[in-house]
Structure 1
Amino acid sequence: MPAKILIADDEPNILLSLEYLMKREGYEVSLARDGQEALDAIRAAPPALVLLDVMMPRKSGFEVCQEVRADEGLRGVRILMLTAKGRDTDVAKGLALGADAYMTKPFSTKELVSKVHEMLEAQGS
């Protein structure tokens, strides 16, 4: 059974390209267009991995990450933050809030696919 990935980003072009990329890799993909929608989707059907943008409406990726990590039932959800905010302080904040990994935009699709495989293999998905 393919691993489930939730892609949370408010930029339609990024959602489309990441959805295509992850489906091509054989993953089951769902989408969220803002932080609250992402949180609702994670709680309704926890994915193996969330590709989470930091800057989104309603709730930021940082807030989503923090809430997921505070929920005992969601401990197994892996979080890969994808963001244009690449300053060291932003990376440190994301990791401190419980993100498993952090990639800055623009990123290479090859690098992203490799990171996703690595994170899901480590999890045993």
Structure 2
Amino acid sequence: MKTILIADDDPVMVKLLEFNLKRGGYRVEICREGLSVSAKAHEVSPALAIFDLMLPGRSGLELIKDFKDDDTLDGIPIIVVTGQGKGSTRHELLKAGANTVFTKPFSPTILINRISELLSS
């Protein structure tokens, strides 16, 4: 069973993601702030990471850079979820190395489909 690491401080979003990912057959690990994400990723070796853009401690953008600068974490696909729908934010996240950016609210079905695509490639 593949593990997905979620970094989000919103309890409602965490429950929504966790429910849908577990239903999709994935194991879920959760960080509720940004400072512990890299250490948790080294501990659980996730197949994919989902970051909220706005996190206490380190932002989703900073976490992308952390992963890209770490040889062990660099190959992990990253999805960012954000309430900021600006095109410039999306462009900055994709340029930094995010594989996909979802603006809240989004369809859990589309998220699961995108995760399947990223993990099968």
Q: TM-score, length-normalised on structure 2?
A: 0.95
- For 1:34, the equivalent position in structure 2 comes to 33
Q: CA RMSD in A?
A: 1.0
- For 2:23, the equivalent position in structure 1 comes to 24
Q: Which runs of 4+ in 1 moved over 3 A?
A: none
Aligned residues: 121
- For 1:48, the equivalent position in structure 2 comes to 47
Post-superposition offset of 1:99: 0.8
Q: SS of the residue aligned with 1:59?
A: coil
CA contact (8 A) 2:3 2:44 kept: no
Post-superposition offset of 1:43: 2.4
- Give deviations 1:76-124, integer Å, cap 9, x for gaps: 21101111112111011101111111111100111111111111111xx
Taking every aligned residue pair, what percent have the same amino acid on both sides?
A: 35
Q: TM-score, length-normalised on structure 1?
A: 0.92
Q: How does 1:26-105 map to 2 (within 5 A)?
A: 26-105=25-104
Any unmatched runs of 5+ in structure 2? none
